[in-house]
Amino acid sequence: MILNEKEVCVYLDIPSIPKKKWDGKTSFQYGVAITELIGGGQSYAVVSFDNEKDLSPRVKKVFELEQFKSIGDIFIVPSYMDADVENMDLDDESKAMAQLLVEEANESISNTEIFNDEPKNEYYFDNIHNDDEAIAFIRSYNKSQSKGKKRKVPKNHESIIVALSVIYNEVQNNGK
């Protein structure tokens, strides 16, 4: 008997342990692994694998207090928006229903207008070209919006970009 089946299913919000075994190569976001425990038993664990970053499956969640010594078989949890219906671990009737859902989703996506309000400039505003100009802009903006409150000006590049994105969104929302 393998321990923690119910816990894994609840954690992953799946009805049962998947049946499709991992091929040992392809990436997956969630999988259910059978782990060999030090005491000799077996337990389920949640794992993931990204073939561009990982050398072996990465354990995301264990449910047993006892340590495990190895990972055995891994069963891949299918992605619900996976458009490759033929490779899904489903019976024929379910595959037909899944294919209808995929077609419906694709039709819905194609009928949706996509808005691209993101600016091309990393600094969000066309008149800003470097961190020094960005800091001066943020200071000026903060002074005009502060109403007596003194706001801090970010110092590192990442924080500057975040502050500019907030200001950009405020300007966009106030302009509409």
pTM over 0.75: no
Q: Do 61 and 27 share a structural domain?
A: yes
Give pLDDT tens digits for 63-89: 999 999 999 999 998 876 455 666 666
In a domain, 150, yes or no: yes
pLDDT at 84: 64
Are 54 and 107 in a shared domain?
Answer: no
Q: Would you say residue 126 lies in a domain? A: no
In a shared domain, residues 7 and 69:
yes
Give the pLDDT confidence score for residue 23 in this predicted structure.
92
Spatial contact of 135 and 153, defined as CB atoms under 8 Å apart: yes
- Which residues in the chain come in under a pLDDT of 70? 80-90, 105-119, 146-149, 175-176
Number of domains in the chain: 3
**pLDDT tens profile 137-156:** 988 888 887 666 677 888 88
